Homo-oligomer: A and B are copies of this chain.
């Protein structure tokens, strides 16, 4: 049930078994089927999800109905709309299951409780946000400064390498901020 979470946490901090057990008490497991939404645009995001199995993705929708992928999350990754989570503003994002998935949810209250009573959780979260910021910064740099070819090349070698077969092409195009046609052209270039 908590295998991936245990791995993810032990990867960053020294934590005792009793602290782990205490931490798990704050999470609620949930199964979610492919295409089901974990968060709808306009709702306030009041929980964070950890992916034990499967995959999620978050996206915004523009006025023309186009979708813009913010993030993918596979096993061992966290997913939320942290903007809405921390500001209590309605979310501009949807979070949807890319595959049948199993997630661990932690509510805002439980999250705050853990931060307050467990310094090791604060330390883990500091490292997590730090890394999330760094990844997002790199993504932002790529989005504003790179050509379609460079974006795709980085994508192939980034944290998603090895997971690409699980993501439909039109979602990869949306993540990279290019059209599916451009993506096809770039992929042909890379294949030749």
Q: Which residues of B contact A122 (CB under 8 A)?
A: 119, 122-123, 126
Pick from B70, B83, B133, B138: contact of A129, CB under 8 Å? B133
Indicate whether A130 reaches chain B with its CB closer than 8 angstroms: yes
Q: Which residues of B contact A17 (CB under 8 A)?
A: none
Indicate whether A90 reaches chain B with its CB closer than 8 angstroms: no
With known contacts A126-B126, A126-B129, A132-B133, A141–B82 Cβ distance under 8 A? no
Contacting residues of chain A (55-97) with chain B, CB-CB under 8 angstroms: 60, 62, 68, 70, 81-83, 86-87, 92-93
With known contacts A62-B145, A119-B119, A140–B136 Cβ distance under 8 A? yes
A50 → B minimal CB distance (Å): 16
* B140 pairs with A70, CB closer than 8 A: yes
Q: Which residues of B contact A133 (CB under 8 A)?
A: 82, 129, 132-133, 136
Interface string of A139-157 (1 = CB under 8 A from B): 1110111100000000000
- The interface on chain A, measured as residues whose beta carbon lies within 8 A of the other chain's beta carbons, has a size of 34
With known contacts A126-B122, A129-B126, A70–B177 Cβ distance under 8 A? no
Considering the complex of A and B, which 10 residue pairs feature the smallest CB-CB distances, nearest first? A129-B129, A126-B126, A68-B144, A68-B145, A133-B133, A60-B145, A83-B134, A129-B130, A136-B136, A83-B137
Chain A positions near chain B (C-beta within 8 angstroms): 60, 62, 68, 70, 81-83, 86-87, 92-93, 115, 119, 122-123, 125-126, 129-134, 136-141, 143-146, 177
